[in-house]
Structure 1
């Protein structure tokens, strides 16, 4: 039932080998279930290559798709809903919870309404989704005991009531979903789990063969579902594990995770009787520390350039690039992809990117900030107005006009604002000042631009939340209809993602007829911006065309000749999951949810299975990111440890431990010349060494030279809030001025 495919072998090919039979053309009775959509694309392609002629394909399901198919079969008539609607049902659950007919939570938490409570709703919804997806048995938790346990716990005060009510909220949440015939992804998992426990789950008709491939770890619902399939009387069922069999039982090995997965399904994997290490010492690995993130991107570009020069006939899809954090995607595209001729070197990008980091979000943020003050006070905040007009996408929106005229008008408004020290102004007054200025200086820009700005950005109604969403979408559509000639990167993806989210919000309000009493635009703006800040843009790319760029977990089961892994530092690989105030670890254990250490093992497996499935590996880690010192990942330390262990083995065992081709690349030493002015400065009685500067010198003399002597400051990303260094500097300056 459970079989292993060695990590160095091709899991896709092995899966196809189990499916395909000589001379057979009809595979409609076979179902293949796998972890993600990407693996399904590769399976379909490999099937086409193997069979070659017309055939009836098997049914291919990513696990989410299979759960959805089972849910539709067993619970017909449900409609899948978006996060806005789901979050409102969470809100409805909270305000209807009663304990012996007495409201448990303080009414003032809710008296301002859903819009103010929305950030809490999203947090609670995410926690509830995790509980339901794991198939938590809510009935087995005694509410009174659970509540007492939470009240005695050391949790954030504001979260205690919510934690104590979590099982009850989950029941209400499910109740409202079922009453409205609504479904979410997590609710589907929970309902399927209920059917498995009552032995009433109906599997799809016409399927007699199941192949389950590529799963590293399973949640509780998936375990129960796969055990049901594997224990059934079907003609054929196979669970394929892609692992390193040599030391799968070694708890230190990252592949031990799959030994547990097999055990959860009721199977033991036979391990060969040997003393081989789980780590393949014949791997060709190069590890590159870089001074900062920018140099890391440059290093990746150089590696790709070198590969293409040395192997001009190599298919581009044999090169894989792992970007473990989505925030690195756009810098990667700008620093790496843009340096190549896109006609000859293509990149297939298949990962998400936070919408909050896009220029479209910045445009929406500027437009909404402008409208808050305009609608509440009748005046423009000039700084907000100018920030909006300077956004590059505004030129797209106004592309019917001459760009030079728009630039001239911006310069005129700037000059008026500076001359009059203007902070606020009604728009008609500002427009009159511009016209008078132009007349007195004999300037003739196209004044229709001012009218268009007013019509698009200032006049539309924002009296209701629906109007606010429509106003925002109108701006985006003005840009979308004129974008072709500008060629901004991923602009169409940005606009489509934002427009879809805005449509969801409009439909949500229409569905529940939610109109705020005493509507305040700041309420609607806050909800709209918060919701948009939580969504991601999904870039699907074109499979089998170009260098493959994905997140770490998308590489499950895929093999490449060259694999480049970026950002291999602590906090990214493995991800630093912050303390969860709603589902802390002890609560997770009670609810039988995964804790952080289990996620860490999953990242470790993903990393080592990816590199051990490639022929040549390039690992990059920057010393600094966003101005902060980094620590190279424990995964790199594990590689070094395994390499060093090799030196101590018995010489007769060297046939089992071919030498690891490990190159640790670092820049050549640079000598700083002490010129006469520098010597004079250092020897001056007015010059002193602070403790920080001495620490810097001991850590890196060259950094001391650049920073303390040449006064070169490292470029830092502007933060939304002051960090510890800035806060400390402000306090020092304040105390100095007070006491002097």
Structure 2
């Protein structure tokens, strides 16, 4: 007599069927039930209690892992169970003392940095091979087969693998032999022991009541052998639920004549109204739609929200579950690698990885200290002081171009400490804080979070330091106020305990960053279980947790290919090709299992709502597409089936509103000295002028990894300023000596400029690269001045002008500007004009896109909205206007060579030029550059420019003319205010 097999329909409840088989039996306590996981057992106990109606001795209900462990123990396969950490250490020892293994991980004499990631993957593969009951001899024969098939088509790939990991099959035998010798066990060894003949008898299963195994699909060879052995028991019952692919999974039992052939699965046509599909823009939209449709009044354990990937869990926790209060239960694993405490460790690792000795990369440092836990470090009972200090520190680094700093330098930076004290003076609670207190507070953070990891002795030492870090975060920051801190940190600490107690603890890595990479690998599979035992209210489960369960209403979130389907062979040493040769589960089998669980879950539901993202990065799962196709084939209308969950947005391009000129605004404008850049802002867009020059708004700067073009321009400007200020170069014709001597002098000025802008790390890394680039550009600039400019006399650098201009309507206004350099140049005869001497105002441009006005294209009669297209910029005309009518103030107390040179000059004696330092070939663009081989009439051209400047100023000072947005959207491309004004659709 042998066991029995029962195939249930999809609409039958597997747990209820088992409860019906067991309830009322006198030997109930002697019965055994085995499910794939633990979850169905909770539902079975509840149903048995409802059926029996009183307290009773429950049958033994196991998950498969628990059942196998009990069989292995009964069979004498006992011993401590090891995980991947101890397994990796044992493999490493084997490689060292067993030369015949050859180089593991594809390298000889490997260090831990290289070996460990490989060992973690290899252990997972070895365990799968062990579960498939492959003997070392069988695996070794595969090597021989590969040798024989060298060059024969598909075997070529396998041969390549064998050549790279020649010792893999030998490692398999040696590894498990070593575990047996040491009396150790792995999960796969327990499965192999449970599948041995006699294991069931030793566990006394023949003397039990009913032994029921239910809800299985994908089975390893060990599980198959175990089930074959169970069929020898007359009290055994195997229960399965019809679904796609089940016949193929149970074919091994059909071949043994233990069960009848399973009929090919034919998906039923779903009844009308059972399925509703919700297409949303993102996961949050899915959750909002779910919140709208879920039945909050009549919800119990027959309702389930299925979350196949963890991204949707917390949106559900925060937006759905509060309405259910205590009437809900979560049973899903949340990855530790998704938690804030893990991201903190990642940030520390990144900071140390890119450190240069004792100096840390400032963008990485700021990323770390602005982590929610770090900026939440408490002083007293408040994190406010920490946040103020860190905000000032960020602003301080914005003004510095150096990208590296040591912790000690940060703690004692006088400029930063002064700025912090000034900021704290505005807070009543912190007026008494001294510079020493700020230093001590920063040192506290550095000592707890960064400095311990500067020297790591071993894996165990690293784990101990992480433990201290978690303890500090728990006791000294706001982290403990987070509702899940205790749960997440507890799981985190369990991982650290495992590392500390492993055989790897005494080992050490060669490189410091490897400790953090190792930790990432060790944490990869760790989850906080969110494991609920009560079967109460709305259930929130992962797809795997739904195995064997039936629900009246299913709400399935994120039914997308990236969350629901299987892609690739995962993080394994063995490719899918090799897994196929070894009869291990491949992508195909894992995909089939997911499809089976998906179909059986939905097939047994009375009502199902399927949500998925529909955007450029996500597509619905093929499982969903197939379901939609079946419904369409049965006559359903896809449009009617799909509920489109999108925000009701109006993407109409509303014109930005003009800003009125209030009395307060007019008062500010009347007191303003207008600069060329301010007038350029107004020319491009009056609304931009309002934001920038009236409200004083600035784009929020960030400490980026690269030095900005503007910062590089400032360095070049300052180096050239110092160069012309020195060596008696101003006020006399430029007569350079030997090029190498002039270049050496310019390099000295460059180094001084770098120090002024706090770019001090020019001997390494990115700072060195930038220094070399700027140095090369300055060399090119010096060549241009010597070989390309001809005769000139530099009169002044960084010359400030201020002048008054009388407008017909608005009266006197003030203009103010600073010229990079003023030269007296001898201009050669050209285009029929004689050689003349001219005052040339030079403006350095380190970009390559600046343009001068078009004297031939612009007229005062040009429609005002088109001025920015032809007038382009009033910078150079304003410089000439200032030089002709204003007073000059020179930098550094330099001798005034400008004022005497300007006496008695007319507009014909002036020119202004952009020196294009950012172009590959340095050039100049003159305010009066030739067009069609002719030069302009300077007085008439300048009269147009002056008229335009006066017209712009009249507009600015006209109280009845609001600040209107530009009508040319091209002017909005690079504007930092386009989101504020409503033209964010204009792309750069």
Do these two structures clear the TM 0.5 threshold for a shared fold by scoring above it?
yes
Aligned partners of 1:150 and 1:163 also within 8 Å: no
Larger Rg: 2
Match of 1:353 in 2: 334
1:16 aligns with 2:19: yes
Match of 1:287 in 2: 277
Match of 1:452 in 2: 444
Question: 1:85 & 1:136 partners in 2: Cα distance?
Answer: 22
Question: 2:580 & 2:262 partners in 1: Cα distance?
Answer: 31
Question: 1:483 & 1:28 partners in 2: Cα distance?
Answer: 51
Q: 1:667: Cα distance to partner?
A: 6.2
Question: 1:107 & 1:322 partners in 2: Cα distance?
Answer: 39
CA spacing shift, 1:616–1:436, aligned 2, 3 Å: same
1:343 aligns with 2:341: no
| Residue correspondence of structure 1 range 534-549 to structure 2 within 5 A | 534-549=525-540
CA spacing shift, 1:559–1:662, aligned 2, 3 Å: farther
Question: 2:277 & 2:609 partners in 1: Cα distance?
Answer: 6
| Residue correspondence of structure 1 range 102-117 to structure 2 within 5 A | 104-105=102-103, 109-117=107-115
Question: 2:259 & 2:335 partners in 1: Cα distance?
Answer: 41
Query: Any idea what SS the aligned residue of 1:86 has?
Result: helix
Match of 2:464 in 1: 470
Cα displacement string for residues 517-544 of structure 1 (whole angstroms, at most 9, x for unaligned residues): xx54233233223323443332213532
Question: 1:276 & 1:192 partners in 2: Cα distance?
Answer: 35
Match of 2:769 in 1: none
Match of 2:625 in 1: 637
Question: 2:649 & 2:482 partners in 1: Cα distance?
Answer: 43
Question: 1:258 & 1:463 partners in 2: Cα distance?
Answer: 50
Match of 2:313 in 1: 329
Q: 1:482: Cα distance to partner?
A: 6.1
Question: 1:68 & 1:19 partners in 2: Cα distance?
Answer: 24
Question: 1:276 & 1:156 partners in 2: Cα distance?
Answer: 37
Question: 1:530 & 1:418 partners in 2: Cα distance?
Answer: 35
CA spacing shift, 1:584–1:82, aligned 2, 3 Å: closer
Aligned partners of 2:228 and 2:253 also within 8 Å: no
Cα displacement string for residues 458-500 of structure 1 (whole angstroms, at most 9, x for unaligned residues): 4436431222221111111223346788542532222122211
Cα displacement string for residues 151-178 of structure 1 (whole angstroms, at most 9, x for unaligned residues): 6445499854355543322111201221
CA spacing shift, 1:277–1:171, aligned 2, 3 Å: closer
Q: Normalising to structure 2: TM-score of the pair?
A: 0.59
| Residue correspondence of structure 1 range 125-204 to structure 2 within 5 A | 125-141=123-139, 142=141, 144-148=143-147, 152=151, 153-155=155-157, 159-161=161-163, 164-193=166-195, 195-196=196-197, 202-204=202-204
Aligned partners of 2:463 and 2:500 also within 8 Å: yes
Cα displacement string for residues 343-395 of structure 1 (whole angstroms, at most 9, x for unaligned residues): 36x54221223322221111011223344567x72233333332222111125
Aligned partners of 1:136 and 1:592 also within 8 Å: no
| Residue correspondence of structure 1 range 507-586 to structure 2 within 5 A | 507-509=501-503, 513-515=506-508, 520-578=511-569, 582-586=573-577
Query: Any idea what SS the aligned residue of 1:316 has?
Result: coil
> Which has the higher relative contact order, 1 or 2, with Cα contacts under 8 A spaced 6 or more apart?
1
Aligned partners of 1:216 and 1:257 also within 8 Å: no
Q: 1:429: Cα distance to partner?
A: 2.6
Q: Normalising to structure 1: TM-score of the pair?
A: 0.77
Structure with the higher helix share, 1 or 2: 1
Aligned partners of 1:241 and 1:258 also within 8 Å: no
Aligned partners of 1:293 and 1:622 also within 8 Å: yes
Query: Any idea what SS the aligned residue of 1:666 has?
Result: strand
Q: 1:647: Cα distance to partner?
A: 5.0
Question: 1:158 & 1:330 partners in 2: Cα distance?
Answer: 45
Query: Any idea what SS the aligned residue of 1:617 has?
Result: strand
Match of 1:727 in 2: none
Match of 1:712 in 2: none
Aligned partners of 1:2 and 1:262 also within 8 Å: no
Question: 2:71 & 2:544 partners in 1: Cα distance?
Answer: 25
Aligned partners of 2:304 and 2:553 also within 8 Å: yes
1:666 aligns with 2:681: no
**Greater shift after overlay, 177-186 or 664-673?**
664-673
Aligned partners of 1:381 and 1:424 also within 8 Å: yes
Match of 2:581 in 1: 590
Q: 1:97: Cα distance to partner?
A: 5.3
Question: 2:105 & 2:647 partners in 1: Cα distance?
Answer: 66
Aligned partners of 1:566 and 1:621 also within 8 Å: yes
Question: 2:588 & 2:375 partners in 1: Cα distance?
Answer: 49
Cα displacement string for residues 49-99 of structure 1 (whole angstroms, at most 9, x for unaligned residues): 222223222111111101111112223540011221122223334455544
Query: Any idea what SS the aligned residue of 1:167 has?
Result: helix
Question: 2:30 & 2:43 partners in 1: Cα distance?
Answer: 20
